């Protein structure tokens, strides 16, 4: 019989692995459960697959007793179980909670009295109460708030951010009942410096959606400002610079080729779907979605116009994409706007390659893009470079001095051959 463990983290991805690392660091006997044998075998051999938790940290975790497994029976030995599986979108753009449902069923099969079960996966308000709770109760015969504790605590992971970590980022905690919240607070109090207790699980779920929808809507706003300024002959970046000098009542956002990552392009769909189920139309989300969906095409249009100016015909032109990850300094390419940009250029006969020191391979519509490893050589052999992501390694002076034209979607460069978005 397996010895009891303090924590089982279900899902060892971009959320679960940092949590498992922090728990191990805090002295909790921690086991990570994942459905991928590749992930489990890699971690067991000391190899990380997640940015922010490098191989050295994985080695330290293993040295402290951490174990990764695909065996769900470990759940029966857990004092606390935290579900950190992904919540993406189905092909039709609706929320896909299949991973949450599968993980919850696994937990339910092994659930024991007194266990704390926490959902960290992002979803619409009511998921913990109306989806997770019935699955746990029906399969186990136990009752939330009476026989076991049920809580929701949204993840706040910012890949590439060395300052705001699992420990230092304030953590929202909620419970199905006040006793559940108290138990969850005691657990997270061992891991996080500052806890914020929500009134209930729906409030905590809604808070998470608000955080990312706030960014989604404001990015859409500055994107549409950029579109309007371009049509009107107004310097977008000077407008943004001037507005950002206001010390109150204004939060700066910048336009770009689109939004990427697992949270910003996805979470608003969960809010919209949850609201629609109650007959509430989120009109602002629909407008933001429309604007953001236009941005990759706008970048393609600007690029084709530049190629026409520099060589007469875009067909056969060579374009180099600079930075294909979704944010600076990370290797994560989930929902990267580089994909629709590359697809749009390829569709008219442009030869597209990319340079990104963080991304070893990048495919678009099932076809890999050629990767340039020597930036200077790649710039010299291109008709146009498009700065999609301002990675810290990029020297703006080098980009400005390059022989090829530069389309800068991040507002970082200036020069005779530079065109700003």
Reference 386, options 361, 372, 401, 405; nearest CA is 405
What residues contact 106, with CB distance under 8 A and at least 6 apart? 10, 33, 72, 75
| CB atoms near residue 279 (< 10 Å) | 6
25, 45, 198, 262, 330 from 22: Cα distances, Å: 5, 19, 22, 21, 20
Using CA atoms in the order 36, 13, 207, 330, what is the torsion angle rounded to 10 degrees?
A: -140
d(CA 315, CA 307): 9
Residue 393 falls in the annotated catalytic set = no
Catalytic residue (choose from 180, 229, 263, 404)? 263
Instruction: Determine whether 280 is exposed, middle or buried from the number of CB atoms within 10 Å of its CB (0-12, 13-18, 19+).
Output: exposed
Q: Are 53 and 21 in contact (CB under 8 A)?
A: yes
Tokens 């606390």 correspond to what residue? 80
Q: Catalytic site residues?
A: 263
């Amino acid at each position: 019989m397996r010895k009891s463990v303090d924590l089982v983290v279900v899902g060892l991805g971009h959320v679960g692995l940092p949590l498992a690392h922090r728990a191990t660091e805090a002295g909790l006997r921690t086991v990570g459960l994942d459905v991928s044998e590749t992930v489990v075998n890699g971690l067991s051999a000391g190899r990380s697959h997640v940015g922010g938790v490098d191989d050295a940290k994985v080695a330290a975790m293993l040295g402290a007793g951490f174990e990764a497994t695909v065996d769900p029976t470990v759940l029966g030995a857990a004092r606390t179980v935290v579900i950190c599986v992904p919540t993406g979108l189905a092909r039709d753009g609706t929320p896909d909670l299949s991973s949450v449902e599968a993980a919850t069923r696994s937990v339910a099969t092994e659930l024991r009295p007194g266990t704390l079960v926490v959902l960290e996966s992002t979803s619409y308000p009511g998921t913990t109460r109306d989806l997770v709770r019935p699955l746990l109760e029906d399969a186990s015969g136990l009752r939330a708030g009476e026989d076991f504790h049920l809580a929701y605590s949204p993840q706040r992971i910012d890949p590439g951010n060395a300052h705001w970590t699992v420990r230092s980022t304030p953590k929202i905690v909620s419970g199905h009942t006040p006793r559940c919240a108290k138990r969850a607070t005691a657990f997270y109090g061992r891991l996080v410096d500052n806890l914020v207790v929500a009134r209930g699980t729906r409030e905590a779920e809604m808070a998470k959606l608000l955080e990312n929808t706030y960014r989604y809507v404001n990015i859409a706003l500055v994107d549409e400002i950029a579109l309007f300024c371009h049509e009107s002959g107004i310097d977008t970046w000077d407008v943004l610079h001037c507005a950002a000098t206001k010390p109150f009542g204004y939060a700066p956002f910048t336009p770009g080729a689109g939004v990427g990552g697992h949270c910003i392009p996805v979470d608003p769909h969960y809010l919209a779907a949850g609201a629609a189920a109650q007959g509430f139309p989120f009109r602002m989300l629909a407008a933001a979605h429309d604007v953001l969906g236009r941005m990759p095409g706008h970048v393609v249009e600007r690029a084709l116009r530049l190629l026409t100016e520099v060589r007469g015909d875009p067909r056969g032109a060579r374009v180099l994409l600079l930075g294909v990850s979704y944010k600076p300094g990370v290797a994560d390419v989930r929902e990267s706007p580089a994909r629709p940009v590359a697809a749009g250029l390829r569709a008219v006969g442009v030869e597209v390659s990319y340079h990104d020191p963080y991304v070893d391979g990048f495919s678009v519509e099932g076809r890999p893009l050629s990767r340039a490893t020597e930036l200077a050589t790649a710039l010299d052999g291109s008709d146009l470079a498009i700065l999609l992501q301002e990675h810290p390694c990029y020297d703006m002076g080098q980009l400005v001095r390059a022989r090829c034209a530069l389309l800068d979607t991040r507002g970082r460069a200036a020069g005779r051959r530079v065109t700003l978005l």
